[in-house]
Amino acid sequence: MSLTGIADLPLHDGWVPRWLFSRMVKLARALVSAVISEYGGEELVSRLADPFWFQALGCVLGFDWHSSGLTTVVTAALREAVSPTEHRVAVCGGKGKASLRAPSEIEEACREMRVEHLTGELTRASRLAAKVDNACVQDGYQLYHHAFVFTESGLWAVVQQGMSPADRTARRYHWLSAKVRSFTDEPHTAIVAERVRSRVLDMTAHESEGARKASLDLVKEGPRRLARLIDEAAKGQKTLLRWIPAGSSEVSYLKMPWSINWRALEEAYQLQPSRYEELVEIRGVGPATVRGLALIAELIYGERASWRDPARFSFAFGGKDGVPFPVDRKALDEAIEFLTTALERADVRGREKLDALKRLRRLAATYTV
């Protein structure tokens, strides 16, 4: 269960009813306690990093499978259900302003679990994972939710979500530290989505390694040299757009951003970063600067970055009305069987277990023909 992934979900307005959320917290606490008791905190974190399991958990807790709110509400329920002192696992961050509190909450949780020596490493991981998905994977989604889950051993997972107002969908990103060898080179071991974009700048793709190295070389030469290269490259250039058919996805169209942060590039020049993730960490190096460096790297050095959406396939079950696609009965049955077996084997007693099993059986009956 060490997959990472992305999900496209429709944006839903409104709030979850308090009567439902309070029950979600209770059931989540029972499920979390069962998994930790049976397999340990590391297994819980690994499962949360699996988009399939996370989605199924939201359905079991009683939330719509295809709602963008599943991410935020399930995370909020886990925040209340999981206790660092009792479970030796912490859930930090959340939606909107709550995401900004992740670093301070990580520090507080480390104190509660008496693992203060992990604070710096974990806060860096939280900050860098958000920066990478916001700046290095330019898919049109702006992050508005960031949750960071970790154990006392230092294993961590990230569940964060971005919004695309253009088509009213949300995209979710999962990370697991056990599978992250580099924050900027294939940090996602499996990426899934319902909707694949025609053109996405993915500086985390292995195919972008040359562009990443060229970007570093450009930074090390200094902003004055970089500005001169841009000016020289732009002289006498004319657009080819008049010959590109409208809506064509076969022809690359590279547009240089105007908002490159030269102050950040000056700082990068002073620091002389040896790795691309060190460049990305610098405050002010955002999507426009990353994109600008990538385009110059291709123009000057011929090092082309990946413009292919890292999304591969969908893990969602589908809808009974065929939206966004017909129900995948096999996948749904596998999820129901997996969770039913897990609940029956877990040492969970009381009303919560009965309610969960009943909900699973009702779910199975709904899609059984």
Half-sphere exposure (Cβ direction) of 252: Cα atoms closer than 13 Å = 12
* Domain closes at, from 167, 198, 229: 198
Q: Which of 301, 318, 342 is the last residue of a domain?
A: 301
Q: Which of 185, 173, 196, 202 is nearest to 51 (CA)?
A: 173
**Over pLDDT 70: what percentage of the chain?**
69
Residues 185, 38 share a domain: yes
pLDDT given for residue 368 in this prediction: 46
The answer as to whether 345 is a domain residue is: no
Same domain, 32 and 135: yes
Indicate if 213 and 167 belong to the same structural domain.
no
Model pLDDT for residues 165-205, shown as the tens digit of each residue: 777 777 889 999 999 999 999 997 666 666 778 889 999 99
Q: Which domain holds residue 292?
A: 206-237+252-301
The reply to whether 187 falls in a domain is yes
Looking at per-residue pLDDT, the higher value among 7 and 93 belongs to: 93
Same-domain pairing of 126 and 212: no
DSSP state letters, 234-279: HTT----GGGSPTT-SSS------S---HHHHHHHHHH--SSHHHH
Mean pLDDT, residues 343-366 taken together: 58
Q: Which of 301, 322, 341 is the last residue of a domain?
A: 301
Widest pairwise Cα distance in the chain? 75
Rounded CA separation 230/252 (Å): 19
Alpha-carbon distance 95 to 83, whole Å?
19
Q: In angstroms, rounded to a whole number, what is the distance separating the alpha carbons of residues 315 and 89? A: 27
Q: pLDDT at residue 357 above 70?
A: no
**Residue 367 included in any domain:** no
For residue range 231-262, what is the model confidence (pLDDT) as tens digits? 765 555 444 444 444 444 444 445 556 567 88
203, 271, 281, 308 from 268: Cα distances, Å:
18, 5, 10, 28
Question: Is the residue at 306 inside a domain?
Answer: no
50 in helix, strand or coil?
coil
pLDDT score of 245: 46
Tens digits of per-residue pLDDT, 6-44? 555 555 565 677 777 888 898 889 899 999 999 999 999
pLDDT at 286 over 50: yes
Q: Do 265 and 224 share a domain, yes or no?
A: yes
Residue 328 resides in a domain: no
Same domain, 155 and 194: yes
User: Total domain count for the chain?
Assistant: 2
Which of 164-173, 204-213, 270-279 is predicted least confidently? Answer: 164-173
Say if 165 falls within a structural domain: yes
Whether 174 and 261 map to the same domain: the answer is no
| Interatomic CA distance for residues 310 and 197, integer angstroms | 9
Task: State the DSSP string of 89-154.
Answer: EEEEEEETHHHHTHHHHHHHHHHHTT-GGGHHHHHHHHHHHHHIIIIIEESS-EEEEEEEEEETTS
Whether residue 359 is contained in a domain is answered as no
Q: Are 257 and 231 members of one domain?
A: yes
pLDDT tens, 98-120? 999 999 999 999 999 999 999 99
Q: Is residue 182 included in any domain, yes or no? A: yes
Is residue 175 located within the same domain as residue 116? Answer: yes
What is the pTM assigned to this prediction?
0.76
Could you tell me if 44 and 152 lie in one domain?
yes
Res 295 pLDDT > 90: no
| Joined tokens for residue 244 | 């590109």
Do 226 and 94 fall into the same domain? no
pLDDT in tens, 138-162: 998 889 999 999 999 999 999 998 8
- Closest to 56 (Cα-Cα) out of 339, 327, 313, 359: 339
Amino acid 67 reads S
User: Based on the domain organization, do 128 and 39 belong to the same domain?
Assistant: yes
Which secondary-structure segment (H or E) carries 280? helix 276-281
Q: What are phi and psi of 253, to 5 degrees?
A: -125, 110
